[in-house]
Structure 1
Amino acid sequence: MLPLIAQVALDVPIPRLFDYVAPTLTLADVGRRVCVPFGRKEFVGVVLALSRESAHPREQLKAVTAVLDDAPLLSAEILKLLHFCSDYYHYPLGATVLAALPTALRRTPAPPLRTVDSWQLTALGRTAAATLPQRAHAQRALYASMQDGAAYSATALAAASASYRTTLKHWLKLGWATQLSQPAPLNPSPVSADTAPTLNAEQAEAVSQISAVLGRFQPFLLHGVTGSGKTEVYLHLVQTVLAQGGQVLILVPEINLTPQLTGVFRARFPDIEIATLNSGMADSERLQHWLAAVDGRARIVLGTRLAVFAPLPALALIIIDEEHDSSFYQQDGLRYAARDVAIMRAHQRTCPIVLGSATPALETWHNAQSGRYQRLSLTQRAIDAATLPQIRLVDLRTQKPEDGISPALAAAIQRRLDAGQQSLIFINRRGYAPTLICRACGWAAGCPRCSTRLVVHLRERQLRCHHCGYAERVPHACPDCGNIDISPAGLGTQRLEEGLQKRFPAARVLRIDRDSTRRKDSWPAMQQQIRRGEADILVGTQLLAKGHDFPNLTLVGVIGADSALYSPDFRASERLFAQLMQVSGRAGRAQHPGEVLIQTEFVGHPLYLALQHHDYVGYARTLLNERRAAGFPPFIHQAVLRAEAPQIDAAVTFLNQAKAAAPASAAVTLFDPTPATMTRKANVERALLLIQSPNRRALQQFLGVWIETIYTLRTSKLRWHLDVDPLEI
């Protein structure tokens, strides 16, 4: 009988699978990795199907050169999810499948895994060792520890007998014991278990309702004010799932939140293996954790968006913390929304999914309002003595700031210093200043590779582009007119830190942004520094806005928020409200009352007025009414075809050709191509074509036909991609 033909997924930008003769494979090998020749190279691929037939003559097919796994790594469930992602986001199936694997598994050889040795008695050993003479004290002590037949580590055996190595060596020769090599534990250092606090009525109701539907698909929106104890709800739910033998997948938006939340879960479940998955891990470490999830050893899997594709054989619950966060959107390669993919995964798995946020995405809120998701509310802070902070607006038309700090904010900081409490000054702009300007001729430092300004990093004497990474030295004079009186314009975290240190010389000022936390473990060290009371004033970006609990922090000052009100992006006000609500929630989370001061020139703006009343519900209603009237998501479904080329004309020409080749559809509207908001980025010029429809199914059918035509268009010196449900236009 002729050998089977394997259809193999490869990480190439071609929307099809590739056929290879597979003499040693059977139908049970779908999901296994293989090595195959491709052109002049050898690629790692994944077997997606096996059959007797091929569309190509069998004699022209090459053979699989190696089978890499003892068993399939990707289950049928995950492959079904990846097929959905490929179809929905219109991205090549091969590249979609390989993107779900850790980097280490996309190449050969994979890095070696950390292992630990252990020993156990054989059946012969359990019988023979029981007859040891009374005087063989060391052997009898070791036998007493191992007689149950379980595997024991060197540490455990050393506690039973100091001479265990000599005894084991002898027993191994006799066949009384066997040596095993097992994967190293993910959480090797023991911790003491935390006691679970008593839930309040709202938390208990949320846990009860979600626990009641384990084993069924049901999306929940857990809408809780900041500090309302959403994490405690998660912990109780995880405890219920673990008791039933299941696994839990928990997604968080930021890498920096992963260690903090992992610590919380380890303290509550010290005996449970917890896998963490994020792009900041070393390849070998990430592989170790991923494999622990695949074989079911890791009962809790906690990670960023890429963890949504981790195979979990006993998955029983998915939790997405801060579900509104834009970090859940992948912006290159397979462009997907991890929240939406997780909902589809929960649907396929028939398990509940919990979306937690104090400021849900409008799409999520709309689904809860329409009944597609069940809404559970936490309206009070979890600590009885903690109350929501008082939010005040500082009118910059009457309060003139000095170094960015208004007199009202300076006085509030001083009161906290006098009381031994901490303050957080929030400005979502790192660096020293947004740009460098010449006041004589109007020159401003621009990036030669992007349509944007260079940011001043004064301590490093550099101008940097935060979009492409370009950097140059700060010039001594204006390159246009020679004027030496060039100066930074605007505020960044570094300049604010300098100004605060000058105004409050006795205060300990700590800056927290992507620059100051670049080194590994620097941010966890800073968190400990804050909790020990070794910082008085924190200056930070959005790194500080999410999920952190600093009990002695009672003041939040917000600087530069008005700039978002000028944005042409229709989602800008939604993001600003969420960001300010999140950062405001850092204040007054314990027994001391919190205060938030927002410096603004628009004290009557509806966004700020809603913030003052902590009125997410009212502001969401206003935004949804505006979106409905304007025809924006969630009342319309969108896709964007983007093109990049050395010159903008080539990108626009390609998009016009694509538009002309589009199939006719009365339910779909195509707009004219237009340059992107940031037209030039990293030496390429970018344009886009917006497609939208009131009907998601009609849009998907249109895109499925259209993209086949787009692949046939000539695209030399040009790159393009399709972005479905885009986060930004």
Structure 2
Amino acid sequence: MVDSQGDAARDGASANPRVLHVAIPTPLRRLFDYRPVGPAPAQGWQPGLRVKVPFGRRQLVGIVVGASDESDWPLDQLKPIAAHLDDAPLPEDWQWLCRFTARYYQHSLGDTLHHALPGPLRQGRPLEARTRERWELATTLDSAQSRLARAPRQRELIALVAQHRQGVVTSAITAQGFTRAQLQALLDKQLVTRTEEPVTAGEPWQAPLTAEPSLSLNREQSTALAALHEGLDRFHPCLLHGVTGSGKTEVYLQLIEGVLGHGRQALVLVPEIGLTPQTLARFRKRFRVPVVALHSGLTDLERLDAWEAARSGRAPIVIGTRSAIFTPLARPGVIIVDEEHDGSFKQQDGLRYHARDLAIARAHHESIPILLGSATPSLESLAQARSGRYRHLRLTQRASRHAPAKLELVDLRGRLRQGGLIPPVIDAIRQALAAEGQVLVFINRRGFAPTLGCHECGWIAECRHCDSRMTLHRHPPRLVCHHCEHQAPQPDACPACGSADLRPLGAGTERTEETLSTLFPDTPVYRIDRDSTRRKEAFDALLTDIRRGTPSLLVGTQMLAKGHHLPHVTLVVVVNADAGLYASDFRALEQSAQLLIQVAGRAGRAERPGRVLVQTLHPDDPNLRLLADSGYDALAYQLLEERRLAALPPFRHLALARFEAASESDANDAAGAAGEVMRAWLVERELPVHCLGPVPAPMERRQNRYHIQLMLSGERRSALHEASAWLAGWLESNATRKVRWSLDIDPMTLS
């Protein structure tokens, strides 16, 4: 085993090469050379074959990237591969996407390929569909039961099989208490037949593709759908910019129906796992073809089943969160990115890719249309639409009769608060409940209170591992750092002065829930945050209760604000809108505005109009006032102009190098050295890229490690990537083990 840089010239199939260039899951951005041994795969040695190779003291699963007769090292020093795992390579389009991702995000190709594979394939499992048995009646029920007069359990079993015209699978039979031995007995008597089918199976593609009729479209929806159908045979990027409740999903469904009608597949990306069951249910209700899901809530084998069904073409519709962008499709027809603005599409550690951006690159490579949908588009997508690179499709009307509710700013200054709520807002909640509506109280802070403080000396509960404050939780009572998860008991007295006058400062979801339960004792209060939905299926169970329509109070964080259809909510209360107004990150105002509009969009989605009350300490803030008076679009276009003047994305491209170490001096020294050599190299190459920093991260100390940042900024993406690649190579060769570093291309946050 030796390392090799590898290049495209070495790629290609070869029956008897002397060297295989293999990508291995390591952080090293290079390939490794091995000798092929034993018989060659059926289709010859070619890129995309999985192999098992020795690496140090371990055996790893790698992927062949190229084969040749040459190596940078003597051939007799190369280790032989242990085994080849496939006779046919992984799909070429999937390989292309992984190579593009590794190159664009300056990441190890081996690690990228590893990330993009389902877990069982990383471990060497054969690349084939899992199968299950399906049992069907082989004769008439009366004839079968007459032959089983002395076998009552077998009579019951044959009756169960007879109930299913399409047959019944083994797991459904054993769930009813029957055994495999009883099934085998029926098979031996030729009373049932057994067939094997892929685990992810469904009805074949046949007309009609839909199980229920499509909804009628209004004029704007029809215009948008017609525009989308014009580009089904080519790369056609479109931004579907529709207000909340305007029927974007119905446009998706009817577009997919057209794509399926051409015998092609659709990939739908959603930002959160919480949206997946809702989206799946709606798609499965509409279509008569298999719809599979890919997200982190599945087991490894379930993910493999869905991945293989998509790869083989048996699954015409694939719905998933960001990692689903790496799902291979046999006949790709369209990619849809719902809530395209959402930050969840960006991976924040390891391979720091953005699924929306990869979706655009993939659609371009495969010459298929891509649809980006949002009520609050990202500034990047709006800029592309304004420039004409994306087709801009607008939906300005809600499917219901009512216009979207406007934001009403409520002044918090000088007002007494209960659980973060002031008396006029509590009165509005009481009126909404009296009218048998539901009320959503949005507070983007879980826990009881943001922190605990001493009223006597001013002590604040701070995390000893991070530059952050500890959050107070009540169930059970404890202080928790939401950055490093360090926990401490709630103190009985102030550690600084000994005073017992310790008070919660501010309000979190638990405190607001407690206050509302006290104020409205006869009304159900549902708290929906990460703490209350940790148990599997807990989120779905809460949503099921809420959708019954009983007058109730919903206390939730942003996980409740994204895309959920809550038809009985008539009032939305935002407890504090100020968190993102004055944050240091240049995207903070954009993201806060998007979140406010998305939350507001939960109100008035059905028969009754909605109302949105936004509590703020800064009711005269010009940006907040513009958002309330003129809507998201007006603020977004103003922010775009500010970004242009400040030379910030989307008008300039960024890369962020992050350094962390246990010692502050080690982190500073490493970042300082990288900055010096980077600037010298840029001057030497006369490359139009700026190197800024190093500077401490917004939270400098986190988990007892110090974080320093170095930023690259360039007007041309190509120049920025050339500089980023050089910096990554220099750091790989020169960074010490004391310092961890990472490179984030197109960072979504500077923290």
Moved more, 633-642 or 49-58: 49-58
Relative distance call for 1:637 and 1:502 in structure 2 (3 A) is: same
CA distance in 2, matches of 1:509, 1:401: 19
Residue of structure 1 in register with 2:540 after alignment: 524
Residue of structure 2 in register with 1:294 after alignment: 311
Residue of structure 2 in register with 1:396 after alignment: 412
Residue of structure 2 in register with 1:225 after alignment: 243
CA distance in 1, matches of 2:301, 2:169: 24
Residue of structure 2 in register with 1:689 after alignment: 710
> Does the Cα contact within 8 Å between 1:509 and 1:539 map onto a contact in 2?
yes
Relative distance call for 1:110 and 1:448 in structure 2 (3 A) is: farther
Relative distance call for 1:532 and 1:152 in structure 2 (3 A) is: closer
CA distance in 2, matches of 1:192, 1:315: 19
CA distance in 2, matches of 1:642, 1:362: 25
Residue of structure 2 in register with 1:358 after alignment: 375
Residue 103 of structure 1 deviates from its aligned partner by 2.3
Residue 252 of structure 1 deviates from its aligned partner by 0.6
Q: 1:62 aligned to 2:83?
A: no
> Does the Cα contact within 8 Å between 1:103 and 1:283 map onto a contact in 2?
yes
Relative distance call for 1:179 and 1:61 in structure 2 (3 A) is: farther
Residue 265 of structure 1 deviates from its aligned partner by 0.4
Residue 450 of structure 1 deviates from its aligned partner by 1.2
> Does the Cα contact within 8 Å between 1:27 and 1:50 map onto a contact in 2?
no
Residue 97 of structure 1 deviates from its aligned partner by 1.1
1:404 is paired with a residue of what secondary structure? coil
CA distance in 1, matches of 2:321, 2:583: 28
CA distance in 2, matches of 1:627, 1:209: 30
Q: 1:713 aligns with which of 721, 728, 734?
A: 734
Kindly provide the amino acid, as one letter, of the partner of residue 695 in structure 2.
T
Q: 1:238 aligned to 2:256?
A: yes
Kindly provide the amino acid, as one letter, of the partner of residue 707 in structure 1.
A
Kindly provide the amino acid, as one letter, of the partner of residue 672 in structure 1.
G
Kindly provide the amino acid, as one letter, of the partner of residue 198 in structure 1.
S
Q: 1:184 aligned to 2:199?
A: yes
Q: 2:398 aligns with which of 381, 384, 387?
A: 381
Q: 1:33 aligned to 2:50?
A: yes
Residue 563 of structure 1 deviates from its aligned partner by 2.3
Uncovered stretches (5+) of structure 1, i.e. residues with no partner: 140-149
> Does the Cα contact within 8 Å between 1:112 and 1:284 map onto a contact in 2?
no
Uncovered stretches (5+) of structure 2, i.e. residues with no partner: 1-14, 148-164, 174-181, 204-208
CA distance in 1, matches of 2:251, 2:87: 39
Residue 111 of structure 1 deviates from its aligned partner by 12
Residue of structure 2 in register with 1:15 after alignment: 29
Kindly provide the amino acid, as one letter, of the partner of residue 733 in structure 2.
T
Kindly provide the amino acid, as one letter, of the partner of residue 498 in structure 2.
G
Residue of structure 2 in register with 1:423 after alignment: 439
Question: Could you tell me the percent identity over the aligned residues?
Answer: 45
Residue 598 of structure 1 deviates from its aligned partner by 0.5
Residue 167 of structure 1 deviates from its aligned partner by 7.5
Residue 638 of structure 1 deviates from its aligned partner by 0.8
Relative distance call for 1:154 and 1:345 in structure 2 (3 A) is: closer
CA distance in 1, matches of 2:458, 2:627: 37
Q: 1:447 aligned to 2:468?
A: no
User: Which deviations, in whole Å up to 9, do the C-alpha atoms of 1:499-538 show, x marking residues without a partner?
Assistant: 1111112211111101101110011111110011346110
Residue of structure 1 in register with 2:526 after alignment: 510
CA distance in 1, matches of 2:183, 2:297: 40
Q: 2:663 aligns with which of 623, 647, 662?
A: 647
Residue of structure 2 in register with 1:146 after alignment: none
2:121 is paired with a residue of what secondary structure? helix
CA distance in 2, matches of 1:110, 1:493: 47
CA distance in 2, matches of 1:400, 1:493: 18
Residue 4 of structure 1 deviates from its aligned partner by 4.1
CA distance in 1, matches of 2:119, 2:457: 50
CA distance in 2, matches of 1:722, 1:475: 41
Relative distance call for 1:425 and 1:614 in structure 2 (3 A) is: farther
User: Which deviations, in whole Å up to 9, do the C-alpha atoms of 1:59-79 show, x marking residues without a partner?
Assistant: 11112212223533x311111
User: Which deviations, in whole Å up to 9, do the C-alpha atoms of 1:569-618 show, x marking residues without a partner?
Assistant: 11111011100000000000011010000011222223333333452221
Corresponding pairs, count: 696
Query: 1:270-289 counterparts in 2 under 5 A?
Result: 271-289=288-306
Q: 1:209 aligns with which of 200, 203, 227?
A: 227
Residue of structure 2 in register with 1:551 after alignment: 567
CA distance in 1, matches of 2:506, 2:127: 47
CA distance in 2, matches of 1:592, 1:137: 57
Residue 481 of structure 1 deviates from its aligned partner by 1.8
Residue of structure 2 in register with 1:704 after alignment: 725
CA distance in 2, matches of 1:171, 1:86: 56
CA distance in 2, matches of 1:647, 1:178: 69
Residue of structure 2 in register with 1:578 after alignment: 594
Kindly provide the amino acid, as one letter, of the partner of residue 610 in structure 1.
L
> Does the Cα contact within 8 Å between 1:434 and 1:489 map onto a contact in 2?
yes
> Does the Cα contact within 8 Å between 2:238 and 2:372 map onto a contact in 1?
yes
Residue 29 of structure 1 deviates from its aligned partner by 4.4
1:566 is paired with a residue of what secondary structure? coil
Q: Could you tell me the TM-score, scaled by structure 2's length? A: 0.88
User: Which deviations, in whole Å up to 9, do the C-alpha atoms of 1:594-651 show, x marking residues without a partner?
Assistant: 0000011222223333333452221111101111111211111111111010012111
Residue of structure 2 in register with 1:142 after alignment: none
Relative distance call for 1:192 and 1:533 in structure 2 (3 A) is: farther
> Does the Cα contact within 8 Å between 1:257 and 1:547 map onto a contact in 2?
yes
Query: 1:469-548 counterparts in 2 under 5 A?
Result: 469-534=485-550, 536-548=552-564
Residue 183 of structure 1 deviates from its aligned partner by 2.1
> Does the Cα contact within 8 Å between 1:138 and 1:164 map onto a contact in 2?
no
1:479 is paired with a residue of what secondary structure? coil
Relative distance call for 1:151 and 1:22 in structure 2 (3 A) is: farther
Q: 2:355 aligns with which of 338, 352, 362?
A: 338
Residue of structure 1 in register with 2:9 after alignment: none
Residue 278 of structure 1 deviates from its aligned partner by 1.1
Kindly provide the amino acid, as one letter, of the partner of residue 613 in structure 2.
L
1:324 is paired with a residue of what secondary structure? coil
1:596 is paired with a residue of what secondary structure? strand
Relative distance call for 1:389 and 1:45 in structure 2 (3 A) is: same
2:217 is paired with a residue of what secondary structure? coil
Q: 1:615 aligns with which of 631, 647, 665?
A: 631
> Does the Cα contact within 8 Å between 1:648 and 1:675 map onto a contact in 2?
no
Residue 707 of structure 1 deviates from its aligned partner by 2.3
CA distance in 1, matches of 2:523, 2:457: 39
Residue 164 of structure 1 deviates from its aligned partner by 9.7
Relative distance call for 1:297 and 1:689 in structure 2 (3 A) is: same
Relative distance call for 1:241 and 1:2 in structure 2 (3 A) is: closer
Moved more, 688-697 or 601-610: 601-610
Residue of structure 1 in register with 2:19 after alignment: 5
CA distance in 2, matches of 1:669, 1:390: 42
Relative distance call for 1:714 and 1:192 in structure 2 (3 A) is: closer
Residue 168 of structure 1 deviates from its aligned partner by 5.1
2:578 is paired with a residue of what secondary structure? helix
2:433 is paired with a residue of what secondary structure? helix
CA distance in 2, matches of 1:699, 1:470: 38
Moved more, 654-663 or 496-505: 654-663
Kindly provide the amino acid, as one letter, of the partner of residue 382 in structure 1.
A
Kindly provide the amino acid, as one letter, of the partner of residue 16 in structure 1.
R
Residue of structure 1 in register with 2:450 after alignment: 434
2:595 is paired with a residue of what secondary structure? helix
Residue of structure 2 in register with 1:147 after alignment: none
User: Which deviations, in whole Å up to 9, do the C-alpha atoms of 1:82-134 show, x marking residues without a partner?
Assistant: 1111111111111111111122322245899763224799xxx9xxx9xx9xx
Q: 1:723 aligned to 2:744?
A: yes
2:273 is paired with a residue of what secondary structure? coil
